[in-house]
Structure 1
């Protein structure tokens, strides 16, 4: 997530937190300490800072002191979810596990998360799309590795498959080429067999299939002067 500042003020007490959550649920445009559903989707005003593409809107963090033992369990659950969403996007499964660790009853967790799905603050499809773009750009992961990562995050298998089906095979192959070219910069002086083995291992760890790896590696090595025939 970006570290850019938010212009809104975080709730400082449980009562303020309740007011913020109530405003979100009522669709009020004057939600204290947090965005309403309309604000989540509203484009920024002219001159306002805009979050990077694919990044979820920042949600001001609730005061951790608001989650005391005597609080309404629904208010506690809401506070936990809002606080977690301020740090980084989360899947519904990750939020459920966090609430369970906090001792939140399953029925309360389900009701709170259902409501936050309705207002768009919890959205596994958007989460999966953002996660895939991030891991493709940052680590060059291919479909197989991305599928494994999404499964670990608790994203529904059918939903994950739908998001991964949007990946263009040509884009994935181009990314494999970039990874191979970058790796080859540190492999001068090694013979072709060693280079091939190490490159294949690197691509396999990132989820590329053996056929794609073979084609990309051969193309890259054939183009290097030291491997060209006289």
Structure 2
């Protein structure tokens, strides 16, 4: 370069920052008698810094896209669950919605404890919240397995004419505990055979005029389906015998 006064002016040399060779400060230290750093010291330090940042971001589930390579979103498994756990407001809303659903179902019919838990599980209420709701409903009397068993026995015996075996199956299907079922069966009213005979007498009247064997097969089948077990055939035969027996008329004495 030519200066205005005609002399020559030299340019300062261009020193690369990371490629080949030491920095200007290193050269000055060398001239001053200090120990010059190796050419790759700067690059090594820069690489270590980047690696630490990347490791810190990926190891803690951070959202730095350049470190994780996921465009800013964490790819750590279970991240959705962690987010749900970190948002108690959402969990409370789910629990409130599940409780409302359970109340609506209880307005239409009684439920066992197991059925109530199934309703809450279907509403995605978590375990702790579900148990808290069940506990409150038990305290208020909204859920009562013993009362439900008594109600089911009454319906089965008085309205449907069912026997012990069918009643037991009904109680089990509603999810009632074994001890509750046993207590309800022991408290069933009357004699099992007498209840079966009463039911058979009622049905036998509608079979008047049928062939004896046909009537016996149909009547014993109805008794078996209602849970009267091995007594069904005997009870059906007795009911048909009574139906065929001529009515006893009183004797009139004339003066």
Is the TM-score greater than 0.5? yes
The answer on whether the counterparts of 1:192 and 1:227 sit within 8 Å (CA) in structure 2 is no
Which residue does 2:243 correspond to in 1? 224
Q: Distance in 2 between matches of 1:71 and 1:108?
A: 9
Q: Distance in 2 between matches of 1:116 and 1:139?
A: 30
Q: Distance in 1 between matches of 2:146 and 2:104?
A: 21
User: SS at 1:122's partner residue?
Assistant: coil
**How far off is 1:77 after superposition?**
3.1
Which residue does 1:74 correspond to in 2? 95
**Once structures 1 and 2 are overlaid, which stretch shifts more, 99-108 or 85-94?**
99-108
Matches within 5 A, 1:75-94: 75-94=96-115
**How far off is 1:88 after superposition?**
0.8
Deviations 1:15-60 (A, max 9, x none): xxxxxxxxxxxxxxxxxxxxxxxxxxxxxxxxxxxxxxxxxxxxxx
Which residue does 1:47 correspond to in 2? none
The answer on whether the counterparts of 1:77 and 1:108 sit within 8 Å (CA) in structure 2 is no
Kindly report the root-mean-square deviation, in angstroms, between the aligned alpha carbons of the 2 structures: 2.2
Is 1:209 aligned to residue 234 of structure 2?
no
**Which of these residues, 201, 204, 207, is aligned with residue 187 of structure 1?**
207
**Once structures 1 and 2 are overlaid, which stretch shifts more, 104-113 or 198-207?**
104-113
Which residue does 2:197 correspond to in 1? 177
**Once structures 1 and 2 are overlaid, which stretch shifts more, 215-224 or 93-102?**
215-224
Matches within 5 A, 1:35-74: 72-74=93-95
The answer on whether the counterparts of 1:142 and 1:206 sit within 8 Å (CA) in structure 2 is yes
**How far off is 1:155 after superposition?**
0.4
Is 1:137 aligned to residue 158 of structure 2?
yes
Runs (5+) with no aligned partner, structure 2:
1-89, 248-255
**Which of these residues, 185, 198, 207, is aligned with residue 218 of structure 2?**
198
**Higher Rg:** 2
Q: Distance in 1 between matches of 2:120 and 2:208?
A: 51
Q: Distance in 1 between matches of 2:149 and 2:243?
A: 38
Runs (5+) with no aligned partner, structure 1:
1-68
Q: Distance in 2 between matches of 1:71 and 1:110?
A: 14
TM-score, with structure 1 as normaliser:
0.62
Q: Which has the higher contact order (CA 8 A, sep 6+)?
A: 1
The answer on whether the counterparts of 2:99 and 2:120 sit within 8 Å (CA) in structure 1 is no
The answer on whether the counterparts of 2:113 and 2:134 sit within 8 Å (CA) in structure 1 is yes
Deviations 1:98-128 (A, max 9, x none): 1111111122112211221122111101011
Number of residues paired by the alignment?
Answer: 158
Which residue does 2:253 correspond to in 1? none
Q: Distance in 2 between matches of 1:114 and 1:85?
A: 15
Q: Distance in 1 between matches of 2:180 and 2:164?
A: 14
Q: Distance in 2 between matches of 1:208 and 1:106?
A: 41
Which residue does 2:133 correspond to in 1? 112
Q: Distance in 2 between matches of 1:227 and 1:99?
A: 60
Which residue does 2:168 correspond to in 1? 147
Q: Distance in 1 between matches of 2:91 and 2:121?
A: 17
